[in-house]
């Protein structure tokens, strides 16, 4: 994780300041976190740094995942909290942005240690969490079981049931049936809108997917099942490429059996960096931050990029891609299916009213297509002189600042 992630955000906001004529006070509000909570989680002889950051709560309580990763740090968590603010505002759901993280490697510890870290995270931060304060969810290397441990610990600490304090829970603990693959499903909905908008032929386009975790693998499976050709996929150990297209269902089986897509024998083994340079039509980024930078942006051959990961393209790289007429569908739009479904889960938890799955799927589609239309309309209205990310940021920022103004903060 590069230390300059938040400085990238600062540069983006300052470029929008020039476009929209934002005041210094507005910039300060947009770039200053509301609350940074820090802790050190001690497990036997190990100490793991931990953070929970609420970036802005003008539109509602904080909302955002908790990641367990050996390289996470405060700069990363703060950046992710900022992106959640933008994402939630763009989707028009009543949340501010938040994020959490613990710096350790969950792949190298026992299930018992994983549970201990999960519970101690809540022990450290439960006073700043709650269904009307700040609502965590799964993120990188966290899942529904970890959310279950966190919920249980929170309820022990507070002495009452409050399922709405966390989302992405198991169904038995009042989770939502759409949540497991919501990010991928949202990405698939946005992908179909993009294909329609830019008159792409799904039978002839070639797609590469960097990142084959929950979101990347599920999205690849949906695209494959819908007739799209996936020619390359990768995970943390490397990738595989086959010009005529991969059998995604078989790749998923191999990944489950052996732990990596690199064990798929019917394609050429490639590196993650090589995947980014493949001659494909659509590149899906579903891994981690800062994958395309000013160092490799000029090597990208794809005409369209969809960000399923958070922040995979740096500010300088964005400018290079824009100059090459490469269209980037930004993370704050493309991966917002996860937080939209988290909102559905939260609503159910607060009201006790379990909503029909078909109804929720239609509502998810409606919210994402509405977001797409707003962003594409502003993009076209500016004669394509701005990119889709700038359009999305402008829409989201205006909503946050309107709320701050109504509260009397501006």
| pLDDT value of position 254 | 95
Q: Which residue in the block uniquely carries the two structure tokens 């006070």? A: 25
- Of 34, 63, 87, 99, the active-site residue reads 99
The predicted-structure confidence for 74-84, as pLDDT tens digits, reads as follows 999 999 999 99
CA–CA distances in Å: residue 73 to residues 4, 53, 121, 167: 12, 12, 15, 23
| pLDDT value of position 335 | 96
Q: Is 3 a catalytic residue?
A: no
| pLDDT value of position 1 | 42
Q: Angle 385-391-394 (CA atoms, 0-180°, nearest 5)?
A: 120
| pLDDT value of position 95 | 98
Averaged pLDDT of the chain: 95
The domain locations on the chain are: 19-164, 182-329
The predicted-structure confidence for 180-202, as pLDDT tens digits, reads as follows 889 999 999 999 999 999 999 98
| pLDDT value of position 2 | 45
| pLDDT value of position 354 | 85
Q: Which residue in the block uniquely carries the two structure tokens 């917002």? A: 336
Provide the total of helices (H) and of strands (E) in the chain, helices listed first. Answer: 14, 13
Domain 182-329, what architecture? 3-Layer(aba) Sandwich (3.40)
Find out whether 235 and 200 touch, Cβ atoms under 8 Å: no
Domain 19-164 of CATH type 3.40.50.10860: yes
Low-confidence residues in the chain, pLDDT < 50: 1-2
| pLDDT value of position 179 | 80
| pLDDT value of position 355 | 85
Find out whether 33 and 78 touch, Cβ atoms under 8 Å: yes
Whole-prediction pTM: 0.94
């Amino acid at each position: 994780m590069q230390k300059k992630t938040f400085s990238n955000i600062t540069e983006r906001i300052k470029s929008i300041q020039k476009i929209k004529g934002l005041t210094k006070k507005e910039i300060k509000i947009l770039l200053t976190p509301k609350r940074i909570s820090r802790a050190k989680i001690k497990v036997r002889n190990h100490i793991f740094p931990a953070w929970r950051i609420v970036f802005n709560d003008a539109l509602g309580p904080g909302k955002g995942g908790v990641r367990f990763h050996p390289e996470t740090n405060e700069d990363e968590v703060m950046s992710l909290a900022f992106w959640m603010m933008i994402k939630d505002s763009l989707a028009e759901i009543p949340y501010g942005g938040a994020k959490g993280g613990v710096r350790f490697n969950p792949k190298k510890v026992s299930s018992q240690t994983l549970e201990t870290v999960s519970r101690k995270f809540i022990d450290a931060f439960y006073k700043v969490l709650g269904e009307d304060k700040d609502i965590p969810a799964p993120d990188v290397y966290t899942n529904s079981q970890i959310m279950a441990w966190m919920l249980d610990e929170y309820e022990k600490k507070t002495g009452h049931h409050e399922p709405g304090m966390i989302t992405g829970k198991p169904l038995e603990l009042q989770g939502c049936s759409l949540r497991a693959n919501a990010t991928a499903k949202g990405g698939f909905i946005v992908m179909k809108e993009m294909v329609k908008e830019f008159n792409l032929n799904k039978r002839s386009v070639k797609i590469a997917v960097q990142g084959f975790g929950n979101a990347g693998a599920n999205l690849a499976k949906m695209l494959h099942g819908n007739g799209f050709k996936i020619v390359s996929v990768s995970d943390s150990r490397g990738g595989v490429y086959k010009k005529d297209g991969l059998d995604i269902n078989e790749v998923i089986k191999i990944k489950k059996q052996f732990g990596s897509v690199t064990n798929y024998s019917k394609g050429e083994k490639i590196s993650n960096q090589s995947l980014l340079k493949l001659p494909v039509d659509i590149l899906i980024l579903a891994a981690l931050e800062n994958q395309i930078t000013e160092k490799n942006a000029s090597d990208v051959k794809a005409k369209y990029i969809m960000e399923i990961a958070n922040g995979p393209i740096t500010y300088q790289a964005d400018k290079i891609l824009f100059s090459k007429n490469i269209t980037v569908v930004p993370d704050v739009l493309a991966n917002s299916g996860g937080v939209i479904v988290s909102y559905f889960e939260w609503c159910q938890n607060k009201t006790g009213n379990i909503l029909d799955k078909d109804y929720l799927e239609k509502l998810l589609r409606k919210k994402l297509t509405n977001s797409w239309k707003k962003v594409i309309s502003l993009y076209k209205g500016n004669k394509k002189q701005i990119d889709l990310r700038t359009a999305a940021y402008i829409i989201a920022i205006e909503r946050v600042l309107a709320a701050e103004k109504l509260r009397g903060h501006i």
